[in-house]
Structures are given as structure tokens and as C-alpha cells.
Amino acid sequence: MLTQIFALTIKELKVLLRDRGALVALFLLPAAFILVMTTAMQGMFASGSSNNPVPLLVVNQDQGQVAARVLTDLKTVDGLRIIEQQGGQPLTRSTAEDLITAQIYSIALVFPLDFSARILDAADAIQPVPAKVTFVTDPAVGSQLLSPVRGMVQGYIEREAMLAQAPRRTLLGFNQMASQAPASQAPQIQKLGSVFTSQFVSSENIAGSSSGVEYQVISPASYQQTFQPTSAEQNVPGYTVYGVFFIMQTIALSLFREKNDGTFRRIQAAPLSRVALLTGKLLPYFLINLVQVALMFTVGVLIFHMRLGHDPLALLVLSLATAAAATGMGLLLASLTHTQEQAGSLGTLLAVVLSALGGSMVPVYVMPDFMQTISRFTPHSWALNGFQDLIVRGLGLSAILPAVGVLLAFAAGFWGIALWRFRFE
């Protein structure tokens, strides 16, 4: 019996070794998956470190010195890269918003014109007008990036505000003491307060009332978004893109099963062109993709109270283009693989890896720069960015037309290569 087992083992190994595609799927493809996912996740966990600092645009309109001191503090932080100029000129509010709208940067910090003056007034005014510090962000940026940056910036602002207010608060305290003291002692108390204030030494532990600073987080003015997106509005589009493109494995496996069963050969006997034959085979999967999109967005709306933007027509157009690219990729997979096993392994790997590169699993803005460049060559990235434009950024049809065009170009390219390489026999 051992001899028989040994002979069967040798036979199976020979069969496996002849199938180079299966060997690639078993060994090289998992290694590629580990490489891509690990590199992408490194960018996610290292974001905000000295090796991968978060770029922060700064628009400093302040005519005083408090904002300048805050920036001096922030420049010492290893996890931040302060950007105050563009093209050799100081950043303006409009320039910063344009850079965020172009998705070159994600966060901008804006100090108002009277920032220092309002902070100093808050030290002794009865009803001070707060200084409003603004964070302008891309709504698609998650809290995992914004929250640490905001917390760090606010900490330094509060510290410098208290230090700037301390002399006035101290002098105010002495003046109040003088007003309650006997008339003969009041001048000496006021003089002592002036001397003490002039010799004031900075301290990090200055107690006082409110710093007089308010913070707001807004989107660029060009975005039609008046609210910060929820977790569902940020995550559901990514998972939807992942689910839509996962159908390519189903398409390839279905075609291989029909070839193995002989069904495909019988269909070819019908008076159909090859294009019509493949179109008829893929159309049901195209419709399934649309049902997937509708179902996942319905779940998001009903369960998580997700908002779908302001332009239903644009949402439909983008869904059609995404489904076309996904079904085209499925046909391409079937044309480039030789066995059902290869199609299954490669399909799973491509679905996961391309989704990761495209931002469905790991946000693109935390990836290393070279991976962000690579992501632009995946249909997943264009589809996800289009859905984010509509749902998260509140834009309309004109904004997603470039994404629709690129997705249709992907679909046409996939179809062209697939028709050239597809084995009808």
C-alpha cells in the first residue's frame, strides 16, 4: 500500500509541476499579496511619524506674534511637515483650498487676521470675541489622520494663548487687589503688579480661564458639503467597489466551467458573432454589479442613515461605468488564464490586491508616495474617488466625468485585450 501511495504522490506532483500557473498561484502570488498589503499598511501605521510626517498647509494671516510662536512649536514636531508657501509665495486661503480640492494635500490650518489681538483681548475683556481657528480638510480624510493632527495643533495653540495672556491676567489680578485695598496702599500694589508683569517668566502650567480660541472643521468652499461625513459614508463606497470588482473571479470561473462541460461549444454553434456571444455572457454579471451597488447603498441608507449626495443621475452613471470596468476585467482574467484553478487563485489575489491599492482597504493618502502613484493605474481608485466625490464631497455629475471616462477606458482596454486573447475553441 505504501508503494501505491508513493506512486500517486509522485504522479500528483508531476501534474502540479507541469501547471506553472498553479505554481505561481500557490507561491509567487501570496508573496506578492504580502508585499503589497504590508507596504500599504506600513504607510497607515507610520503616518505621523518622523519617517512619514503628515503634511499640514498653514495659512497665517495673523498680524500679531501668537500664531508665529505656535508655528515655531509645530515645526519641532517630528510627525508634522509644515507647509507655509507654494511657488515661493505665502499660502492664501484660496490656494490652500485649491490644493486640497486637487487632492494634493488633505489638511490646512488657517489663522485669522486678528488671531493674536482676540487672544490678548480675552485676557481682560468681559465678553471677548473668540479667535476662530479653521481646519480645512478633505471630507474623505478619516479621523485617524485628522484627530491626532487637530489635537496636537490645539494643544500648542492653547499653550501659547495662555502664555500670551498671562501678563495681562497677572496685571488684572493686581489691579483688582489694588481696587479693594486701602487708598494709601493701592499705588504700591499697582506698581508691584507692573514690575511683576514686566519680569514675567513663561511657564507651561499657567492657570486661567478660557483661552478665547474656537475651532472649526470645514470642507473647501468648492465642495457642496455642509456636514462632516459619517463612518458609513466614508467606508461603504470602498466596500462597494471591492464587492463590484470581486465579480471578475465569478465571471472567469463560469466561463471555464462552461468550457469544461461542453456548454460553451454548443452555444458557439448558434448564429452569433463572438462579440455578441461574450456580450450576452457578461450582461447578466453587469446587471448583478448594479444590483450589488444598489443593495450595499440601500443597507447604508437604511441601517447607518448614510447620505448619497445630491445627484442621483451622477451616482447611476458612475455605477454603470464601474460595472463595465469590473465585467471587462472578468473577461480579461478568463482570457489570460489557462485553468479554472488559475482563474480562481489569480482572481482572488487581483480582487484583494487591487482593492488595497485602490484605497478600498487602506486609505490612499496614508500610503507611501510610490504606492499612491501606482493606485492611479487601478480602476478601483477611480471608482472609489468618484463615489467619494458624490457621497463624501457633495459634488455632482461634472466632477465625476473624468473618473467615468477613465473607467470606460479601462473597460474598453480590458475588452480589447480579452477579445484578442480569448480562446473560443
Burial class of residue 186 (count of CB atoms within 10 Å of its CB; 0-12, 13-18, 19+) = middle
Q: Which residues of 103-125 are buried (b: 16+ CB within 10 A; e: fewer)?
A: bebbbbbbbbebbbbbbbbbbee
**In the chain, domain spans:** 54-218, 228-421
SS (H, E, C) 138-171: CCCCCHHHHHHHHHHHHHHHHHHHHHHHHHHHHH
Please provide the CATH number assigned to the domain covering 54-218: 3.40.1710
Q: State residue 120's pLDDT score.
A: 77
Q: Cell triple for residue 141?
A: 480624510
d(CA 334, CA 249): 8
d(CA 295, CA 305): 14
Residue 389: CB atoms within 10 Å? 26
Q: Cell triple for residue 234?
A: 466614508
Contacts of 408-414 with CB under 8 Å at 24 or more apart are 408/321, 408/324, 408/325, 410/325, 410/328, 410/329, 410/379, 410/382, 411/321, 411/324, 411/325, 411/327, 411/328, 412/328, 413/328, 414/325, 414/328, 414/329, 414/331, 414/332
Task: List Cβ neighbours of 283 (8 Å cut-off, separation of 6 or more).
Answer: none
Q: State residue 21's pLDDT score.
A: 58
Per-residue pLDDT of the chain (425 residues; tens, 9 = 90+): 667 676 667 766 666 666 665 666 666 666 766 776 666 666 555 555 556 788 899 999 988 888 888 888 888 888 788 998 888 888 989 999 989 888 888 899 999 998 888 887 766 666 777 888 889 988 887 777 788 888 888 888 888 877 776 655 555 554 555 455 555 544 554 454 454 445 444 444 344 445 678 888 888 888 866 667 777 887 889 889 988 998 888 888 877 776 666 665 665 555 666 677 777 778 888 898 999 999 999 988 998 888 888 899 999 999 999 999 999 998 888 888 777 777 777 787 888 888 888 888 777 777 777 888 888 999 999 999 999 999 988 888 998 999 999 999 999 999 888 888 766 66
- The closest alpha carbon to 36, from 407, 378, 406, belongs to 378
Torsion of CA 367, 368, 369, 373, to 10 degrees: -60
Q: State residue 43's pLDDT score.
A: 58
